[in-house]
Amino acid sequence: GENVEQHPSTLSVQEGDSAVIKCTYSDSASNYFPWYKQELGKRPQLIIDIRSNVGEKKDQRIAVTLNKTAKHFSLHITETQPEDSAVYFCAARPVNTNAGKSTFGDGTTLTVKP
Amino acid sequence: DTGVSQDPRHKITKRGQNVTFRCDPISEHNRLYWYRQTLGQGPEFLTYFQNEAQLEKSRLLSDRFSAERPKGSFSTLEIQRTEQGDSAMYLCASSLAESGNTIYFGEGSWLTVV
């Protein structure tokens, strides 16, 4: 089955700096890669996703890049703000698999210091 | 809030007792998923329903666990003869089968087995 590894497990940045979180996956058949943000005590929420036919996707201050050859994808947050502080999870979903059966990474706790 | 709702949010139980969690999905969503999440890990898929049919169960779902979705709307997850290793957050999510990929999580039910 799919295996997703996420690094780093914790990340602390100063407000205004950029943050990068990286994930690798094992199943070359995976074709959908969502990122979720989970604030303390709250539900995971989808913040951005990318499909395997695209190399990069951007939405305001967040972007995701995908390297299918190397089987890794990354989340980039620019101009970080204290409200970006949360746990971020990456996930990978093999083709023809139910969306809810994505394999998740173990999460990155991002702290943005004012 | 018309999102996915879960009840109770927190449950403390003694080892050996049975517990039941309820999930109310977004009303028009025909797919419903259950996950388990422990500290420092991402959500792990347990099972999912399409309408009232339970279509798949993970190997993580031991025979002490049972899930139902009798009318294709709300779902229950029961854990019998709880063990300390069952302590975790149990997340529910829902989606439209036709929407492709976006799943919407509830805020989870925390279980502590003492």
Q: Which tokens go with B92?
A: 């529910």
Hey, which residues does B35 pair with through a beta bridge? B45, B91
Among chain B residues, CA nearest to A41: B107
First to last CA, chain A: 41
Q: CB–CB of A45 and B105 under 8 A? A: yes
pLDDT per residue as tens digits for the range A54-106: 899 999 999 999 999 999 999 999 999 999 999 999 999 876 777 788 899 99
Q: Are the C-beta atoms of B54 and B61 separated by less than 8 Å? A: no
Distance of alpha carbon B75 from the chain centroid: 8
Q: Which residues of A touch B102 (CB under 8 A)?
A: 46, 99
User: pLDDT digits over B13-22, tens only?
Assistant: 999 999 999 9
Q: Are B15 and B82 in contact (CB under 8 A)?
A: yes
> Across all residues in chain A, what is the average pLDDT?
93
- The C-alpha torsion from B111 through B93 and B5 to B42, rounded to 10°, is 40
B81 class by beta-carbon count within 10 Å (0-12 exposed, 13-18 middle, 19+ buried): exposed
Which of B4, B103, B107 comes nearest A99 by C-beta? B103
Higher pLDDT, A95 or B68: B68
Q: Are A35 and B104 in contact (CB under 8 A)?
A: no
Q: How confident is the model at residue B1 (pLDDT cuts 50, 70, 90)?
A: low
